[in-house]
Amino acid sequence: MAARSARERPRHLIFDADDTLWENNIYFERAFDDFVAFLRHSTLDAGRIRAVLDEIEIANARVHGYGSLNFGRNLHQAYQRLAERDVRPQDRDIILQFAARILEQPVELIDGVDETLAHLAAHYELTLFTKGDAEEQRLKVARSGVAGYFSHTAIVKEKDRDSYRSLVDQRKFTPSQTWMIGNSPKSDINPALEAGLNAVLIPHAHTWTLERQEIREGPGQLIRLERFAELRGCF
């Protein structure tokens, strides 16, 4: 990383949570696989079923947001649209259980997260910035064991340019000295760059399809890393 002037040195690091600090989407993918097996469609493969579910999720996210409970609702709507047999009352309970099991999974930190956060928290102010169902996200933060590294946690319905600007204003951050670290181009990188922040992209092999986008340039700097632990060499 090129040397920075004192004015540009980072002071605040903002972190995404799901699939940046801990595993998340793998559990949704397992629930989807269970759904496909239960649906047993005669002609549609998993990819085409996923396309239908994506359409439903895009529409419902605007109203209901994210999280496992909303995912269960989306699966049930997809079932009602695609089922080739009569829809029984008990089918809904079975499908919702696929999503409910997501909440039962342990919070599994990604390699290097704990020790890297401990190192960074000794030098910078760390903020956790996540989206989704507020109660569900608070539960994951509490169970993660890393909440103590963060001086502030913000949970929002959507992470877009305006939500980043609002966070920066509320916390009185200087954008040029603030970095957003995450795995999602859609929610972590592009809106942060558009809001004038710097960003670090740490891709995850199982980033949700709807969180993938081409990176759009903004006024801030962008760093791409392979592993979370590499942050120690950047800051």
* Residues 32-84: tens digit of each pLDDT: 999 999 999 999 999 999 999 999 999 998 888 888 989 999 999 999 999 99
CA-based angle 161:9:207, to the nearest 5?
A: 45
Q: Are 218 and 179 in contact (CB under 8 A)?
A: no
- For 101-159, write each residue's pLDDT tens digit: 998 999 999 999 999 999 999 999 999 999 999 999 999 999 999 999 999 999 999 99
Q: What is the DSSP letter of 139?
A: H
Ramachandran bin of 67, using left for φ above 0, alpha for ψ from -120 to 50, beta for the remaining angles: left
pLDDT recorded at residue 7: 44
Q: How many CA atoms lie within 13 A of 69 on its CB side?
A: 8
Angle, helices 46-64 vs 25-39, to 10°: value is 120
| 3-class SS shares of the chain: helix, strand, coil, % to 5 | 50, 15, 35
